[in-house]
Structure formats: C-alpha cells, structure tokens
C-alpha cells in the first residue's frame, strides 16, 4: 500500500502526492495524473497496480492549487466540483508540479507519465515540456485537440474511446495526422472507460489499453 507524501514545486508551492512502491527494485518511475476527481480511491488503486508491476509511482494531488486534498466520487455534484477546481488551474503550474513528481521518481531510473481524462491532457503537455521523459501515455485527454501544436520530445501513446462525448473521432483523426509517430488506439467505449467505478467503465477496453501501456513501459522504461 502507498502513502501520502509532500512535493515542492519549482515556485515553492507544496502539494500532496500518493506514493506507491514496488516490492523489489523498481523497473523505473511513473508519474500518474488524476482525472478531475482528485487523488481518490480509483487513482490510489491504479497507482498500487502499477507499483505491483514494478514501478515507483507518484500521483500528485494536482488540484491542491485550487482545493486541498480533493477526493471525489462520480455524482453530478462531484463532476461540477472537479470541473470548477480544474478551471482555477494554470497549465504552466500543473506542468511545474508534474516536473516535481518526475524529479522524484527518476531516482528509480527511466521514467514516464501516464494521465487519465484531465490528466491525459497534462501527460500530453508533459511530453513536450518536461525533458528526459521516457514516454507519455494519454487516456482521452479532452483538451488535447486544442493543443495539437505541442511537439512531444518522447514517444507518446494515445488511448481514445470512439463513443467519447467530449472528444470526437474527427478530432482524434486530426491529432493522429498531426503526430504520425505517436501510437494511437481507439476503443469501442466512451469517456472514462478505464475507471471501474464509473458508469462508462468498459472492462475489455480497459484491459487491452493497460496491456498496451505496460508493453510500452517495458520497452521504454524497463
């Protein structure tokens, strides 16, 4: 099981983070980026899962800059709370916080970033703005279509849902055309298909996407 720690960003801001360690020597590091629901039960379980696969995982509480220790469920009220918090954040600050997490996990060796939903967008930004990442994995990042001009410095893997209400297939195809070297997979699922606590959970797609993620991590991180 993991524990809560504190990270200090380059501007001096202190934020919480969930740290999960593997049983033996780490294969490498992984910065895990939350959805809009904070570092909740699902995110902690996801971090524990990747730690069990051999990685040192840190999941920062990115929304601490808007609201401390946000830990939400999936009701409409929770969605509105999470959205409101996300809108108070500046991407430059969140990249700074991701950098602080990367600086910690890279003690374990080569390191990657993986993000879901809101975090998928931050994983995409991290790929272009954080030097030294081994790879970035982006699950259905809603703002990526508005950030197609970013130029990733590392291999990128995209996971999309073909029934995603927030990201059209047309937008996905444009991203693929703009970044042909990225790996991109579309699943017969909707937004949030990886989260077993959401109504949009699609177990077959979640399993396949995780297998593909681990394949890239084994290749690029260790």
Cβ-contact 184, 172 below 8 angstroms: yes
Query: Is residue 53 flagged as an active site residue?
Result: no
Give the active site residue among 135, 164, 179, 195.
164
For residue 128, which of 163, 169, 95, 87 has the smallest C-alpha distance?
Answer: 95
Give the active site residue among 159, 179, 191, 195.
191
Q: Is 160 exposed, middle or buried, given 0-12, 13-18 or 19+ CB atoms closer than 10 A?
A: buried
Cβ-contact 53, 215 below 8 angstroms: no
Give the active site residue among 97, 117, 159, 195.
117
Rounded CA separation 164/150 (Å): 22
User: pTM of the predicted model, to two decimals?
Assistant: 0.98
Which CATH number describes the domain made up of 3-220?
A: 3.40.50.1820
Query: Is residue 164 flagged as an active site residue?
Result: yes
Rounded CA separation 98/81 (Å): 22
Query: Is residue 42 flagged as an active site residue?
Result: no
Helices 91-105 and 118-129 meet at what angle, rounded to 10?
70
Rounded CA separation 83/149 (Å): 24
Q: What is the pLDDT of residue 106?
A: 98
Rounded CA separation 68/82 (Å): 12
* Positions of the chain with pLDDT under 50: none
Q: What is the pLDDT of residue 1?
A: 77
Residue 143 has what DSSP assignment? T
How many other CB atoms sit within 10 Å of the CB of residue 131? 9
């Amino acid at each position: 099981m993991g524990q809560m720690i504190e990270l200090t960003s380059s501007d001096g801001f202190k934020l919480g983070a969930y740290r999960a360690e593997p049983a033996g020597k780490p294969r490498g590091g992984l910065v895990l980026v939350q959805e809009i629901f904070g570092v909740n039960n699902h995110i902690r379980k996801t971090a524990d899962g990747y730690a069990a696969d051999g990685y040192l995982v840190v999941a920062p509480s990115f929304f601490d800059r808007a609201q401390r220790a946000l830990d939400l469920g999936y009701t409409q009220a929770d969605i509105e709370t999470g959205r409101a918090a996300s809108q108070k954040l500046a991407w430059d600050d969140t990249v700074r916080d991701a950098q602080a997490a990367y600086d910690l996990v890279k003690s374990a060796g080569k390191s990657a970033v993986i993000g879901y939903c809101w975090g998928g967008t931050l994983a995409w930004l991290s790929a272009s703005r954080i030097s030294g990442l081994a790879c970035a994995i982006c699950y259905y990042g809603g703002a990526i279509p508005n950030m197609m001009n970013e130029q990733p410095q590392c291999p990128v893997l995209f996971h999309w849902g073909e029934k995603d209400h927030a990201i059209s297939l047309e937008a996905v195809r444009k991203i693929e055309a703009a970044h042909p070297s990225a790996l991109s997979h579309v699943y017969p699922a909707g937004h949030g298909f990886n989260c077993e606590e959401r109504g949009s959970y699609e177990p077959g797609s979640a399993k396949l996407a995780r297998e593909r993620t681990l394949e890239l991590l084994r290749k690029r991180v260790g």
